[in-house]
Structures are given as C-alpha cells and as structure tokens.
A and B are shown apart, each in its own frame.
Chain A
Amino acid sequence: MQLVLEKRAERSTVIALISPLIAIGLTIVTMSILFVIIGKNPIAALNVYFITPLTDAYSLQELAVKAAPLVMIAIGLSLCYLANVWNIGAEGQFLVGAVAGSWLAVKTHGTDAGAWVLPAMLLLGAIAGALYALIPAICKVRFGASEILVSLMLVYVADLLLDYLVRGPWRDPAGFNFPTTAEFDPVATVPLLLEGGRLHLGTVIALVIVVAAAVLLGRTIKGFEIRVVGAAPRAARFGGFSSNQLVLLTFAISGALAGLAGIIEVAGPVGHLQPGISPGYGFTAIIVAFLGRLNPVGILIAGLFLALTFIGGEQAQIAMKIPLDITKVFQGILLFYVLACDSLILYRIRLIMPQRKAADGAA
C-alpha cells in the first residue's frame, strides 16, 4: 500500500478556496495536542488565544494595530513571490525603514518643525526600505547571487545598525542609559484615529495599500507581467517581459512597504526607536502572504488572523503562563499546513494497493 501524488487535470477551485480553512483547522488540532503535552487545558488555552482578544474594544483595536504592518509587508512580499523571487529579508527592510524615518524625528526633536515632519518621515522610511531591498535584487540581477541568502544576511546587519544607533549617537541623553531615542515630538507621531484609543492612521494606510495592490494585480499590465514571469517564465520571455526589471521592481515595492510599515510602527504604537521594535513582523508576514494565497484581500484576512496569534500569545502568557515561543511554533505549524494543503490544489493523493499481490499468490 502506498500513497502517491497524481497531477490534477486542472487546478481545483474548490480546494483553492477552502485550503486555508483546512490548514487553520489542522493547526488548531495540532496546537490542542501541544497544549496537552505541556500540561495546559487545551480548551481554555484556545479560548484565551482566539476568543478573548475578540471580546473587548481595546484588544480589537490592538488587533488592527498589529495587523497593519503584517498586511503591508505581506502585500509587498506577495508581489515578489508571485514573480517567483524570494525576498525573505523584509524584517531587515522594516528595521531600516524605521531607522531612516527616525533620523528625521531625532534631528527635528525639540525644534519647532511643522506638520511636514511626519509625511517626510514616512517617505524616508519607504525610500530606505526600497533601497535596502534593492541590494539583494541588484546582487541577483547583476551577479547572479542568491537573493534568499543576501536578503536574509541583511536582516542581521539592519538589526545591528539599529542597535548601534540607539546605544550610540541617537541615545536619549535623559533616558537613564536605556538604549532608546527620545520620545518623538507630536509632529513626528502617527495620529490616532480615536481619541485615547490605540487605532492609528497606519491601519488606514494598510487598507489603501490593499486596494492599490488589488488594482495593480488585477487591472494593470505591470501586474499581469509580474504574474506571468512567476507562473510561466518562458511565456514571459516570448512576451518580451524583462524578468530582471521585474525582480528590481518587486523587490523595491516590497522593501518600500516594509520600510513604511517600520517607520509607522516606530512613529505610531512604539513612539520612539529602540531595539526589539518588531516581534518578527517581517518573518510572520511571509506566512501571511502564503495563508492569504498571495491575494491582496486574502492577505488582509490572513493578516488579521496572524495578528490574533500575537495578541493571543501575549494574553496566554499572562493568563496561563504559556511560554511566548508557542506563538512561533503555532505560526510555523500553520505555514506547514498551508503549504501542504496548497499542494492538494495541483495534486490529488491516491492510495495505491500493492500490485504484487497477484504475483505472490501465483508463486
């Protein structure tokens, strides 16, 4: 008896729609088993993880706050993945965007600079993120170096750069030697949507980006080129699309979005630059992109779901003393199931009975 894959004649649209749901279901089953193994009541744990955060206004706002960077980064990554190039260094582009935008906030700190500061910061963040993402893209296009490894190495470099700046030149003199810049001025802070709440302008920006990406992919030639280069590189060459140009373009866009997400995070919920501003948004966004089927609307939903795992993870740690690392385990398992279920869109699994049986009988 043997399980084999068999290629379907065409993509299964039914499975394409339900596969993320199957993946989430399987993940929840696996997590329940894991909770039992570490000696926690699985029902209570799942409740804290997925239900409680949805029941009060503060957590719901927090959900939108955490989903915003995930969605922004994942939209950019989905463009790369659709074009079949692998930017996995979004975490680094996020940090560099945060650093570049913070530069302006630090320089204008305590001056009477006007309302232009915040837009300029966002622009700087996006440009810096794009330039940082262009490093692996250029290395790939010009020299043939693996964009996967180069973009990942640059995550560590960005992390160290941020660390150097907040411990060295940008450290707040009044900060009791903590590695952090001074609190940003009001003109350098992302405005809140609701007085006294957590929801800020970043959520709106993320929604605008979702719409823009949907238009780009569904209604423009560029979007079509991106999809063709990824899905059918030979056809794209015959069509005269430059795959090198698209590598640069998709990396630049994804870097810009990651950088923008970075500066919004720093100028919004965090309020100053410090190490550890990201709980791994750049890596989690990879999961968001795949769970959302590389589709802008799907990514929006997936972003909200993974934001839930961050908040649920924090609450589970406080309420049930469940280690925070379980969130990463959860996210890793989820990505596995998403990828495995996606395989069923193209293939079906067939059980093959041993054919040797007849021969054995005869012998």
Chain B
Amino acid sequence: MELLEAIILAVLAASTPLLLAASGELLVERAGVLNLGVEGMMIVGAACGFAGAWATGSTLIGALCGIFAGIALSLVFALMTLGLAVNQVATGLALTILGIGVSGLIGAGFVGERISTAPRLYIPGLTTLPFVGKILFGEDGFVYVSIALIVAIWYFLYRTRAGLILRAIGDNHVSAHALGYPVLKIRTLAVMFGGGCAGLAGAYLPLAYTPFFVPGMTAGRGWIALALVVFASWLPGRLVIGAYLFGAVSILQLHAQGWGVGVPSQLMSALPYLATVVVLVLISRTRSGGSTAPAALGTVFVPDR
C-alpha cells in the first residue's frame, strides 16, 4: 500500500509538467496555431524559474519568472507567425533552438546550485488520512494549478462565448474574420497563454521536481506535450488521461531500472519516446474517418483589407 502511494505520488509529479505544457498548447492549437517551440519555452522557463527562486528564495517568484520567460518567447513566435506570416513549423523549430541556447546562457551560472523545492500542502487531519491523504491533500501548488488550469480551459472552450469564438477562429479563420472577429489579436493572446503555460511547466522541473538546474533538463517533455495534444484529439478531458498515462510510463521505467530488470537502462529510458511514437500511430490510425484537428491548424492567415 505504501509503495502504491509512493508510485501514485511520483506519477502525479512526473505528469504535472506534461499536463501544464500540453494544456497551454491545446488552447493555442484550438485557435489554429501550431507552436512547435514548447520545448524551447519550457527550457527557458526552467532556467528563469530557477534563477528567480535562487535569487529570492521564493518558489512563487520563481514560477512567475518562468511564466514571464515563456510569454516573452511566445511573443517572438507571435510576431513572426502572426505578424509576418512566417511558416509556423519553421518558426517553432527556431524557437526551440534559440530557447536551448538562451537557457544554457542563463543557467550556466547556476549549475551545481541547489534550492529548496516547492512546499507541499499540509492540512492537519486531511493530509494525515491514510493513503488518500497525501495524494489528495499533500501535493505542491503546481499539481493543483495544473488541474485547475485544464478545468478552466474546458470551461472556457465549451461554456463561454469567447471560447466559442476562439474555436471558430481555429476552424475557419476566413469566416471568423468575415464576421468581424479579430483573428490575429485572439491568436496572439492564445499564443501568449500557451507560452505562459510552457514557461510554468518548465519552471516546475527545477522548482518542484528536482531542486537544481541541469542544462537540457526538459529532455523532450515539450515535444511529448505536443504529441499529447494530438493523442487527446484536442479535447481537454482526454488530455488529462494522456498526461497521467505518460507520467506513469516515465515512472515505470525509472522503477524498472531501480528493480534491476534485466534490460539495458537505455532501453527503459527510451520508453517514453517509443511510447509517444506508438501512441501517435495508433491514435492517427483509428481516426481514419476524418481528422479532429482544428481545421485551420498551422495555416497562415493574412487578413484582407
């Protein structure tokens, strides 16, 4: 029972950055923009988040630094793809290359430094409940934020007028523009939101997951988050399932290495990436009847005047 509790806690911790980054990207893609720079925004968020927390000693300020770093990078992406109508795939790649370089520059001074990890919630009586106590009432703030965030995104997309407009823009920007909706403005806001989420997801890694910064510590999580959005068929509910499933896979491989299963550790480390490929193939295959992707996803829009 205690082992199971430990595993669930670990899975939640491993899933949270994926859920945070993928939630933001889901909203961005629902607005019809494909931002492949999630990995770059995450790694800069990680470096800035660590720098902020290290300088002030506050997890909250660290998290805010991460969010702002992510938004700053996403604005570069918005300027390029929405302002200058540049190809979104190429720009996203550029963002990732730039992000890895920038995070290396910022983080160079912090390698080897340690900070204290984010505090965990503690409610006397509830947190001490057997089994469910720690899982439900003993997490760090990021875990609760990530869940609140995806619920809020679901509510926004399906229960508000603004969400409906955003989905309309993602499906047909020409019609939305003809109806008088500010396509580029709404897309810019969505991209900024996605950037903030990716920055927060990155900041989670050095602030709550491990108490130090390592160059390249996102290790492809940004790319896996992108795959998760496809896996979820752009639906918030399935995104939660997907994120926890992937968190479970990555924890499984860690534990399997710990138990000394007779397979090379590198094969176990490759599991999350291989699982992503398999999942992408399966999910794309079963969807042969027609794509559920936002219809205008990744296409350039230049408003007529």
Contacts and interface: CB of A to CB of B under 8 A. Distances in A.
A336 B103 CA distance: 17
Contacts of A287: 94, 97
A339 B93 CA distance: 11
A339 B273 contact: no
Contact of A143 (B90, B98, B284): B284
B101 A327 contact: yes
Interface in B290-305: 291, 302-303, 305
Contacts of B95: 332
A346 B303 CA distance: 15
B264 A168 contact: yes
B129 interface: no
Given A149-B227, A153-B273, A325-B108, A336 B93 contact: no
B8 interface: no
Interface in B22-68: 36
A278 interface: no
Contacts of B269: 160
A156 B302 CA distance: 36
A182 interface: no
B230 A146 contact: yes
Given A153-B273, A154-B273, A342 B97 contact: no
Contact of A7 (B36, B76, B99, B302): B302
B277 A153 contact: yes
Interface string A321-363: 0011111111111011001101100110000000000000000
A157 B273 CA distance: 7
User: Is chain B's binding surface mostly helix, strand, loop or mixed?
Assistant: helix
B85 A347 contact: yes
Contacts of A335: 90, 93-94, 97-98
Given A38-B105, A161-B266, A336-B76, A5 B99 contact: no
B277 A150 contact: yes
B90 A339 contact: yes
Q: Contact residue range for chain A?
A: 35 or more
Given A5-B84, A287-B97, A325-B104, A144 B284 contact: yes
Contacts of B148: none
Contacts of B147: none
Given A153-B277, A154-B273, A160-B269, A328 B101 contact: yes
Contacts of B266: 160-161, 163-164, 167
B189 to A, nearest CB: 18
Contacts of A127: none
Contacts of A150: 277, 280-281
Contacts of B176: none
A38 B101 CA distance: 14
A115 B219 CA distance: 41
B80 A329 contact: no
Nearest to A167: B266
A318 interface: no
B84 A332 contact: no
Nearest to B288: A144
Contacts of A290: 90
Nearest to B227: A149
9 contacts: A38-B105, A139-B281, A156-B270, A156-B273, A161-B266, A286-B93, A328-B101, A339-B86, A343-B86
Given A135-B277, A145-B283, 9 more contacts: A4-B303, A7-B302, A143-B285, A145-B284, A150-B277, A283-B93, A325-B103, A329-B102, A335-B93
Interface of A: 3-7, 38, 86, 88, 135, 139, 142-146, 148-150, 152-154, 156-157, 160-161, 163-164, 167-168, 283, 286-287, 290, 323-333, 335-336, 339-340, 342-343, 346-347
